[in-house]
């Protein structure tokens, strides 16, 4: 088939989709990006997380914010929404994973990934404006350093690499990254609300780099368009059907055709499409391995909170994540903060209880603690000034555990569900996270002289871990029996369809995955031909095992 509406349609505008949009327009392709979320200017973001309509994503209820929350039987997922995807509400933290990630057996035999990805990590760091070491230090950073010392791992403590324009606080300046071709920027004011949406203009979201440059080169970005179908056409190419996000009646459904399609809707969105299109026959050749090796980064969200904190302690001042340390070889801990007033996510926090107990005993532990010290537990659990009284501990592991996702019919509708997958069982709690949270609480007491206590989360009490880094399920593989895409990110059986987002990541990186997703996308797009040139990528051939 010839005469497509577009050369390439990209589904999603996060780290993978943004890279695809820029690199393909640079190569002369006609590109259209569909994004389910809305477009934000700096002043459009919520001032605090209590502005639910601008903060949370629930389009059917009129909430078009940046924070998605999804639920599966084995995990609760925090993700992003909007033009720029997860970059709008991520913690602008850009670590490169260690050797265990590149050596994972799922993909180690395909290439020397650490060596091959090295130049693409360098490009990703330059494009995302990575500052290798957070340049400030305050009470939280001292508490984290002290907690690492108390745990006997002080040598692993470091300031985080972050994607922020620090400049002069609050001062507007011409683009400092791309020779003036990018948008103007404003120096970071350390307000702490990176994950609610940066109203200052300091955070290096994808709208400040990849997407801004892609639009200058002709990419068309359509916000508030949810892709409902990607169908392989008999003569080649694809038909992509969209509808208006959140519409109850006037859906505005329409279809465009494209020679090739890039799926970059985030792990949740990309898996939804692949599962559904395989089920309906729109993409009949998608591997039966879809949904396998879905990863949560073996993650936990715990922390410490005080009943009161003096103004001088300033726990909420800084960017979202500033430091980290390793509890052990495979377990990485970062401090996380929201800015003053952004207290909504505190509703997920509760008493920390041992995770190896039954549900009844875990719930009983919460009740007993509340009855023993009702006033103290009320004050600890209060959302008033929660972000100014606590430190969230984000804990990630390189452990080889996974979930398998599939479709099930419930109440007449097809929905995604989960089961334990390959490797160790996906953990419902991490003892290392509890140790870290207790050490942080102890340092808050000794450093700040405040009554602090380690805290867990309600999902953890119910045996459901939280993750902000949902990955995999359409992973790189040597053959369609082992995964969904080849080493060029082409879907096995549908080589004109590509997965270029977190769904392609084959293992738990044990650190924030945004830089890795960007590097993988840079590598994948580097192989694409310029418009009109021959495609030098080899035909899809499974690698002999």
pLDDT digit string, tens, across residues 217-237: 999 999 999 999 999 999 899
Two tokens, residue 502:
């977190």
Mean pLDDT of 441-454: 91
- Tell me: pLDDT of 289 over 70: yes
pLDDT band for position 545 (50/70/90)?
very low
pLDDT, position 428: 85
Asked if 187 and 174 count as a contact pair (C-beta separation under 8 A), the reply is no
Rounded to 5 degrees, φ, ψ at 428 are: -90, -15
Has 469 been annotated as catalytic? yes
pLDDT, position 543: 57
Query: d(Cα 442, Cα 12) in Å, to the nearest integer?
Result: 43
Query: d(Cα 107, Cα 475) in Å, to the nearest integer?
Result: 9
- Tell me: pLDDT of 335 over 70: yes
pLDDT band for position 288 (50/70/90)?
very high
pLDDT band for position 65 (50/70/90)?
very high
Name the helix (H) or strand (E) containing 125: helix 113-128
Query: Which one of the listed residues 29, 469, 489, 494 is annotated catalytic?
Result: 469
- Tell me: pLDDT of 111 over 70: yes
Mean pLDDT of 286-312: 94
Query: d(Cα 256, Cα 342) in Å, to the nearest integer?
Result: 40
- Tell me: pLDDT of 22 over 70: yes
pLDDT, position 449: 85
Mean pLDDT of 364-384: 92
* Packing angle of the helix pair 113-128, 514-526 (nearest 10 deg): 110
Q: pTM, whole model, 2 decimals?
A: 0.96
Query: d(Cα 99, Cα 86) in Å, to the nearest integer?
Result: 25
Mean pLDDT of 97-103: 95
Two tokens, residue 151:
């745990």
- Tell me: pLDDT of 159 over 60: yes
pLDDT, position 447: 83
Instruction: Write the DSSP assignment of 202-234 as a string of letters.
Output: -B--GGGTHHHHHHHTT-EEE-SEEEEEEEE-T
Mean pLDDT of 478-505: 97
pLDDT, position 425: 84
Q: What percent of the chain has pLDDT over 90?
A: 90
Query: d(Cα 157, Cα 170) in Å, to the nearest integer?
Result: 30
pLDDT, position 2: 63
Query: d(Cα 386, Cα 379) in Å, to the nearest integer?
Result: 10
pLDDT, position 445: 93
- Tell me: pLDDT of 145 over 90: yes
pLDDT, position 259: 97
Helix ranges, 241-382 (H): 266-280, 359-372, 374-381
Mean pLDDT of 516-523: 98
If one compares 311 and 328, the residue with the highest pLDDT of the two is 328
Q: For residue range 169-201, what is the model confidence (pLDDT) as tens digits? A: 999 999 999 999 999 999 999 999 999 999 999
Q: For residue range 228-271, what is the model confidence (pLDDT) as tens digits? A: 999 999 989 999 999 999 988 888 999 999 999 999 999 999 99
Mean pLDDT of 324-350: 96
If one compares 3 and 287, the residue with the highest pLDDT of the two is 287
Mean pLDDT of 62-80: 96
- Tell me: pLDDT of 1 over 60: no
Asked if 338 and 49 count as a contact pair (C-beta separation under 8 A), the reply is yes
């Amino acid at each position: 088939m010839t005469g497509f509406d577009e050369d390439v349609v990209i589904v999603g505008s996060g780290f993978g989709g943004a890279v695809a949009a820029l690199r393909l327009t640079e190569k002369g392709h006609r590109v259209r990006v569909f994004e389910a979320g809305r477009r934000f200017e700096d002043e459009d973001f919520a001032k605090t997380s209590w502005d639910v309509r601008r903060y949370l994503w629930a389009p059917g209820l009129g909430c078009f914010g940046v924070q998605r929350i999804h639920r599966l039987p084995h995990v609760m997922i925090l993700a992003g929404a909007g033009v720029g995807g997860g970059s709008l509400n991520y913690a602008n933290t850009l670590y490169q994973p260690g050797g265990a990630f590149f050596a994972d057996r799922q993909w180690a035999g395909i290439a020397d990934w650490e060596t091959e990805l090295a130049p693409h990590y360098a490009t990703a760091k330059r494009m995302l404006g990575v500052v290798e070491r957070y340049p400030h230090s305050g009470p939280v950073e001292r508490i984290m350093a002290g907690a690492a010392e108390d745990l006997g791992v002080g040598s692993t403590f470091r300031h985080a690499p972050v994607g922020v324009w620090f400049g002069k606080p609050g001062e507007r300046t011409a683009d400092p990254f791309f020779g003036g071709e990018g948008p103007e920027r404003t120096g970071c004011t350390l307000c702490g609300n990176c994950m609610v949406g940066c109203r200052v203009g300091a955070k290096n979201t994808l709208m400040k780099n990849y997407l801004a440059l892609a639009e200058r080169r002709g990419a068309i970005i359509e916000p508030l368009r949810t892709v409902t179908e990607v169908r392989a056409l008999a003569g080649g190419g694809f038909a992509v059907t969209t509808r208006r996000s959140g519409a109850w009646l006037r859906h505005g459904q329409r279809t465009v055709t494209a020679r090739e399609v890039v799926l970059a809707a985030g792990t949740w969105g990309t898996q939804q499409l692949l599962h559904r299109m395989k089920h309906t026959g729109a993409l009949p050749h998608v591997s039966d391995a879809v949904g396998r090796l879905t990863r949560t980064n073996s993650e936990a969200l715990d922390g410490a909170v005080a009943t009161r904190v003096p103004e001088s302690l300033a726990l909420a001042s800084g960017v979202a994540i500033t430091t980290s340390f390793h509890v052990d070889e495979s377990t990485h801990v970062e401090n996380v903060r929201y800015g003053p007033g952004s207290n909504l996510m505190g509703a997920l926090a509760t008493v920390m209880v041992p995770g190896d107990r039954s549900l009844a005993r875990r719930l009983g532990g919460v009740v007993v603690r509340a009855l023993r010290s009702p006033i103290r537990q009320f004050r600890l659990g209060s959302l008033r000034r929660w972000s100014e009284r606590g430190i969230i501990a984000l804990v990630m592991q390189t452990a080889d555990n996974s979930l398998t996702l599939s479709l099930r019919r419930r109440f007449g509708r097809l929905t995604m569900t989960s089961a334990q997958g390959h490797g160790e069982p996906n953990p419902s709690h991490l003892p290392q996270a509890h140790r870290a949270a207790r050490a942080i609480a102890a340092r808050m007491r000794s450093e700040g002289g405040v009554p602090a206590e380690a805290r867990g989360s309600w999902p953890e009490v119910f045996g459901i871990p939280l993750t902000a880094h949902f990955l995999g399920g359409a992973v790189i593989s040597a053959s369609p029996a082992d995964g969904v895409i080849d080493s060029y990110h082409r879907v096995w059986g549908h080589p004109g369809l590509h997965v270029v987002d977190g769904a392609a990541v084959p293992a738990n990186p044990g650190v924030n995955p945004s830089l890795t997703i960007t590097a993988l996308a840079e590598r994948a797009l580097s192989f694409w031909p310029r418009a009109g040139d021959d495609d030098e990528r080899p035909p899809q051939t499974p690698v002999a095992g």
